[in-house]
Structure 1
Amino acid sequence: MNAEQILAWQAAKSGLVLPIVYLRGFAMTQSEIDDTTADPFNGFNVGSVLVRTGWTGDSARHIFESPVLRLTQPPFNYRVTFSDGIRGLNSETKKELESWSQLPSGVGGAAGSPSKAIIAIYRYYDIDSRLFGGESSACMETYGWGLGRLITDLLSVTGAKGVYLVAHSMGGLVARTFLQNDKVLDGSHTNRDKRKLQAVEDLNTKYPATRLTQVEWDRARASVQKFFTYGTPHNGITGQGGYGNSLVGAVGALMGFQIDNFDRTEIKKYLGDPLQANSLDGKFDVEKAFCLEGTGAADYPVAGGMSRRLVGQLSDGLVEVDNAVICGPRPGGAREDTFLAARAYVRRAHSGPYGMVNSEEGFGNLSRFLFGDFRVDGHLEVEAIDLPPEIEKARKDGKQVRASYSFESYLRVRGEKWAMTERLARDGAAAFRRYDELFGQDTKGLTLTKEDERKRILHRRIDLFAAFLDSYRRNDPKRQEVLAGGVTVVGTMGFALRTRISVPDYEVDGILWRKDHYEGSSLLDRDLVFLAYKDADGWQLAWGNNTGDSAHLEVVRPSTDEAKSLADHVAFRRQADGVIEFMLPLQEVGPPKVAVWLRLVARLSTPTL
């Protein structure tokens, strides 16, 4: 971003700049806890240096300085402060931040940081560290209480009305304990050993000023505007075949390393007994949450590779892909009616040199989630995927046919050298469906029940991505482009999507069908580019194959007859209640024939206070 773009971003985003609280992940042994507390940033200052091959063919080092340090630079201009363990902010830090917040408007920005642009590192492990006297062996509820204490102090000294939570691994469970367990403030919950919460009572007795009132507690919880997690085991650590879940509980009981914090049964206890371990349970809006999921299991070095062998390939080396996402009802919805939070998949490990925290992919998703304008969700709606002629004949002859499909997606933003999300079959992140889930079994003489029909509709919807875009981070806001039909547009936001349906394995009467099978081939493979732009009628979209030439990109027109558009497989646009939907047909004539709709849903990102 040049100076002009930075000033424009800062003017437009001033209302979105709120304090950010960082919560680190798990430290197992006492020495690891001590090492963590010896680092002011608890590890969030650690970046990475990777080797990349450039367009010349030469290899060069690529340096990413870490998400915290990137946020201290323009256009964000955040400054860093540190919690005094679970005590919140100490008196000296409070005075410093209060004086900063009292500067006249604009002076803070000129000096480097606006008054609300504060990153607070929540040092919750200080209470357990031998470096600081080892005051207590705390628990998740204790850490959750301390987060409330820190947020209360931040709101007071900065004058902000809200905060953002950014957490790695177990830090996400600490944040959820604060957000979800109503009884953490007074320790009246009965699901965990109340003796462990004595640490809070002892602290309040020794330092009366740390005590929280109910009003302060409620205000702190209500102030959380957005919640971002890196590789948090929201649904526990289960391992291949589920062995991990029982193992972490046994190891925790045997060795006392608090590793049972990742056992699903224990998660439900310290979260206040939600409907399921990974449910926000209506205590926090699921649409204000984002989960970054890693798929680079092979790059996770902990325990000499033992962790990744236990957990398996479909993981970041510690947390399985399916366990790293949270769900919950939308505001006002039934407790059981849950939806998955926005999420992205990146080829990064849980931590380490190739970890997701110290990655461009992680920071790109984080910064756009916190400060972006738009949320765009993409999914496929399956209309038809025919079987090969010989397989179809076998099915009609009454033979049992089985098939499965992997739906891949690879989303990139124009101008960036990283992908926002990669849902690839080789990494175990692709969406998976069986033929019978999509189209059902042969139901001659039978009528589908309402539940069967509901499941079929759900299975035919394939989630591909949820992405946040920032119109003030376009690489060239003044660029003119000519589209098909001579339409000239200025300042587009560009993104590209590769979506792919892989060739499945077919099985006929229990025998794999290998005729005409070529491993790695696909039934449908499209690399598409999209240009979003604004005109007198609002936001529009042009789309087409990703060839690098905008002259062939077609503008998606509003639908005058939706039924006819669907029947004729014509792209169309519809808008209602602030949501814009673009329906785009993708087909392969075959055989086998493939017909799916790519549905993009665009809306304003969740506003903050």
Structure 2
Amino acid sequence: MANSHSPFHPIIYVRGYAMTPGEIDQTSADPFCGFNLGSTVYRAVAEKTRQPRKFVFESPVIRLASEFDYQDVYEDGYDILDPEWAANPDNRLGSRSIIIYRYYDEASRLLGIGSTPSLEVFASKLGELILKVRELVCANPKNAITKTDFRCYLVAHSMGGLVCRGLLQNPKLDPGGAAKLVDKVFTYATPHNGIDLLGINPPSWLSLSDISNFNRQRLATFLDLEAAYKLTERVDWLPEARFPSKRFFCMVGTNRMDYEAGLGLSRTFAGHGSDGLVRIDNATLGGVDARNKPTAPCAKAFTYRAHSGYFGIVNSEEAYQNLTRFLFGDVRVDIWAEVDAISLPKELRKAASQGQSVNALYQFEVLAAPRGKLWYLSRRTAEEDSVACLAHQHWLKAPQENGKLYLGSLFLADRARVNSRRKGLAYTLTFNVRVPDYEVERKLWVNQHFEGSYLFRNSLMLEITPPGADSDWQVSYAWQNQGVHSADRKLDGNLQKDGSLEIEVPFDSASEPGISGRLRFLVARWNHQD
């Protein structure tokens, strides 16, 4: 029997790294380990000198409770792992429960022994917690869920995402088979490829404050990538045989300036292109098959938020919307830019024809906003170091293969429609390609260069209506520069065997220098089979 509560499964929250004994104690003293934090400030532009805008976000816990009827599991001062909690026969878990994995309690001087266990212990005990949650949910007759049909979600911040991956990817850490009960995983600002400070990955012997947890060689062993897949240089791989990449979401922060940890030293050491601690290019995952061949990138979205704090990624509207749409949404849209042609300035074409080496780095900006909202589901701009990039010489070597750029995934929800009279789910996708800094023989070419200008710049309005009992996919679009304010041009796509729809929208700068290609969207029902 299928789980009738789907897609509303129990959520297990796994918090991030705490460095000092004081931070560990503070974590243990917090019932929700940070998942209860909200904020009233929102930085709309990438300038710290500009005054923030007031925007009230109550916290993920409160919003999940108020919008989706989720409940915490604390009762009479205890949680589900305390014998006193289990002793009460009336304590049973509902399907919509939020469980906090309090793995730092043992390391706390307040509740534990003051000694921090290893990542392996954290991952193994996460599996034990999942099995405990299954026991309590399935014992509740109101749920009518069998142990076979039980599923849960893992939601993790920072190092918590590595703890989740340890359980999912390393069979030695999961003797009870808890990994197969995990339906989806959502990570905030997780260093999936470790941490680099001043461009250096912490050495494996640096055990102070467990910094070695972020060493790639250490992670390769912990994640079973070294023994099973011979992967050690990068560890941001998710074996499809262990967990499907399409069920994993990476939320990436891009605001390093508002991360205040270590009196600001962390953001200095992490450098540009980070959230103040985790570098952007270390915060995502890709699927890999048994032959070590990349399969598909995990879903990802970007937001101008710091690693933590009141400008942090966990307590943000943008991350929360991605979280709930990924867990409970109706439509998934994966987006690629495919570059067909690039034209250089006339002088540079002449230089290239004479055998000189000409290169450039093209930066692709993407901003996606649902209709009627004041925030972005994903925000990638040059000023925030979060753009997708394509080097000219790299593209020339294999245009068809290297010209394909994965831009991210959007999840749309019918419940979030602003206009109930319109069946479609709509959003605006701003797509820009910056004019690059051209180089000739590795020397900067500045003739006719105008800083901040664009090869292509436009916004696409896309409206998607999922298929019904007697209708097929309906997709319409309009470019903003065409003088229309709603999507009114119908798109015919290629229907895939799995029922998803592949559609393409061409773009062309129609200028010199210029760029042309197409935006490719793979649109699929989400949670439909559930």
What letter corresponds to residue 337 of structure 2 in structure 1?
Answer: L
Instruction: Give 1:268 deviation, angstroms.
Output: 1.6
- Report what 2:134 is aligned to: 155
Instruction: Give 1:70 deviation, angstroms.
Output: 0.8
Q: Which has the larger radius of gyration?
A: 1
In structure 2, what is the Cα distance between the partners aligned to 1:60 and 1:224? 38
Does the Cα contact within 8 Å between 1:586 and 1:597 map onto a contact in 2? yes
- Aligned pairs for 1:145-184 (under 5 A) are 145-159=124-138, 160=145, 161-184=150-173
1:516 alignment partner, SS class: coil
In structure 2, what is the Cα distance between the partners aligned to 1:607 and 1:225? 14
In structure 2, what is the Cα distance between the partners aligned to 1:497 and 1:368? 17
Does the Cα contact within 8 Å between 1:128 and 1:135 map onto a contact in 2? yes
Change in CA separation of 1:264 and 1:270 when aligned onto 2, cut-off 3 Å: same
Does the Cα contact within 8 Å between 1:288 and 1:606 map onto a contact in 2? no
In structure 2, what is the Cα distance between the partners aligned to 1:406 and 1:537? 39
Change in CA separation of 1:501 and 1:551 when aligned onto 2, cut-off 3 Å: closer
Does the Cα contact within 8 Å between 1:168 and 1:230 map onto a contact in 2? yes
In structure 2, what is the Cα distance between the partners aligned to 1:59 and 1:183? 47
In structure 1, what is the Cα distance between the partners aligned to 2:268 and 2:243? 34
The C-alpha deviation readout for 1:360-402, integer Å capped at 9, x for no partner, is 0110100000001111011111111100112112211232222
Does the Cα contact within 8 Å between 2:250 and 2:285 map onto a contact in 1? yes
Change in CA separation of 1:510 and 1:173 when aligned onto 2, cut-off 3 Å: closer
Candidates 47, 62, 77, aligned match of 1:69: 62
1:597 equivalent to 2:514? Answer: no
- Report what 1:93 is aligned to: 85
The C-alpha deviation readout for 1:275-312, integer Å capped at 9, x for no partner, is 33222233211111000011101111000111111111
2:320 alignment partner, SS class: helix
1:477 equivalent to 2:420? Answer: yes
In structure 2, what is the Cα distance between the partners aligned to 1:59 and 1:176? 35
In structure 2, what is the Cα distance between the partners aligned to 1:13 and 1:594? 49
Instruction: Give 1:337 deviation, angstroms.
Output: 3.3
What letter corresponds to residue 20 of structure 1 in structure 2?
Answer: I
Instruction: Give 1:472 deviation, angstroms.
Output: 2.7
- Report what 1:129 is aligned to: 108
In structure 1, what is the Cα distance between the partners aligned to 2:4 and 2:423? 18
1:292 equivalent to 2:292? Answer: no
Candidates 68, 71, 78, aligned match of 1:79: 71
1:239 alignment partner, SS class: coil
Instruction: Give 1:606 deviation, angstroms.
Output: 5.5
Instruction: Give 1:52 deviation, angstroms.
Output: 7.4
Does the Cα contact within 8 Å between 2:105 and 2:112 map onto a contact in 1? no
In structure 2, what is the Cα distance between the partners aligned to 1:367 and 1:514? 46
1:146 alignment partner, SS class: helix
- Report what 1:18 is aligned to: 9
The farther-off stretch of 591-600 and 299-308 is: 591-600
Does the Cα contact within 8 Å between 2:336 and 2:405 map onto a contact in 1? yes
Task: Note the aligned Cα RMSD (angstroms).
Answer: 2.5
Does the Cα contact within 8 Å between 2:21 and 2:114 map onto a contact in 1? no
2:202 alignment partner, SS class: helix
Does the Cα contact within 8 Å between 2:337 and 2:520 map onto a contact in 1? yes
In structure 1, what is the Cα distance between the partners aligned to 2:324 and 2:213? 29
In structure 1, what is the Cα distance between the partners aligned to 2:181 and 2:358? 54
The farther-off stretch of 42-51 and 377-386 is: 42-51
1:279 equivalent to 2:231? Answer: no
- Report what 2:475 is aligned to: 541
In structure 2, what is the Cα distance between the partners aligned to 1:607 and 1:130? 47
The C-alpha deviation readout for 1:125-155, integer Å capped at 9, x for no partner, is 1111111241754111111121111111111
Candidates 264, 269, 278, aligned match of 1:305: 264
TM-score under structure 1 normalisation? 0.77
Instruction: Give 1:605 deviation, angstroms.
Output: 2.2
- Report what 2:489 is aligned to: 554
The C-alpha deviation readout for 1:492-537, integer Å capped at 9, x for no partner, is 2110101111001112234322121110000000111111125743
In structure 1, what is the Cα distance between the partners aligned to 2:368 and 2:59? 22
Candidates 238, 260, 264, aligned match of 2:216: 264
- Report what 2:142 is aligned to: none
Does the Cα contact within 8 Å between 2:466 and 2:525 map onto a contact in 1? no
User: Structure 1 unaligned runs (5+)?
Assistant: 1-11, 102-114, 186-213, 441-452, 479-489, 559-572
- Report what 2:119 is aligned to: 140
User: Structure 2 unaligned runs (5+)?
Assistant: 45-50, 139-144
- Report what 1:348 is aligned to: 305
The farther-off stretch of 577-586 and 164-173 is: 577-586
Instruction: Give 1:82 deviation, angstroms.
Output: 5.3
In structure 2, what is the Cα distance between the partners aligned to 1:380 and 1:29? 43
Does the Cα contact within 8 Å between 1:407 and 1:432 map onto a contact in 2? yes
Does the Cα contact within 8 Å between 2:328 and 2:527 map onto a contact in 1? no
- Report what 1:587 is aligned to: 508
Q: How many residues align?
A: 499
In structure 2, what is the Cα distance between the partners aligned to 1:508 and 1:33? 53
In structure 2, what is the Cα distance between the partners aligned to 1:582 and 1:151? 39
TM-score under structure 2 normalisation? 0.88
